[in-house]
Amino acid sequence: MSVLLETRSVSKYYGVFRALEQITLAVHEGELVSVVGPNGAGKTTLVNLLTGLLEPTAGEVLFMGRNIAGVGPVALADHGLARAFQLIQIFPQLTVRETIAAAVVSRQKKRWRFFRSLSADAGVNVRAAEVADIFGLGPRLDTVAAALPQGEKKLLDVASAFALDPQVILLDEPTSGVSTSDKHGIMKTLIAAAKRAAVKAIVLVEHDMDLVAAYSHRIIALSEGKVVADLPPDRFFAEPHLIETVIGRVKGH
């Protein structure tokens, strides 16, 4: 399997505070890799490094062999790595169609005529409808995003990232705030959508261990800024010390 996204001996310091220390990891084609860890483990810092929002103090962050340190999420999406960016929190009064179209417009480099494109570009509207259908949001195209149930808001967040046509997608707790009964439905929809859209790999940052166990190919556990495990689920959950140091504290998250 080819390596799509990797870090090589990455560290991130804020003054004397070491948020991450010597992190080396790789995400391969065909994988769903979950990143877990308690509060303060360094998950957010790692995500921000992987998505080009931060530059490491030391080490390299590579996407398909290209150094992406600090390039920013817009340029990174152009390269093929997207993060669910929760547009509905920024533009809650846009409809489902407009929210997805915003990402399509960005992908097509029509940013400078953004709002004109949303209303007038037939190709943008067709693509937005296609993406909405993949996520079961077709009947909601003209619904204002703020009026959606929480589960559908989450799907819309991710649909906007999928509209960027990524090869790798990073999902940061995509089911947070959603009822337990809906979480597996959302995850199954996301994974099915990824296959339809030919997404090559998914990085999932998640604290719900039921979801991590059910859908991960590998689990990368962080604690105090270091990788303490990089294992398939069966081996991860068979290690009592990992349950104690990572999962036990995550449940109190």
- The whole-angstrom separation of Cα 245 and Cα 166 is 34
> Is CATH 3.30.420.40 the classification given to domain 30-41+71-215+231-250?
no
pTM: 0.88
- The whole-angstrom separation of Cα 87 and Cα 72 is 16
What phi and psi, each to the nearest 5 degrees, are found at residue 55? -105, 140
- C-alpha distances out from residue 62 to 19, 59, 107, 197, 244, Å: 19, 10, 21, 23, 32
Task: Spell out the per-residue pLDDT of the chain, length 253, in tens.
Answer: 799 999 999 999 999 999 999 999 999 999 999 999 988 899 989 999 998 889 999 999 999 999 998 898 878 888 899 988 656 676 788 999 999 988 887 766 555 454 554 555 778 889 899 999 999 999 999 999 999 998 899 899 899 888 888 999 999 888 888 888 889 999 999 999 999 888 999 999 998 989 999 999 999 999 999 999 999 999 999 988 887 877 654 443 3
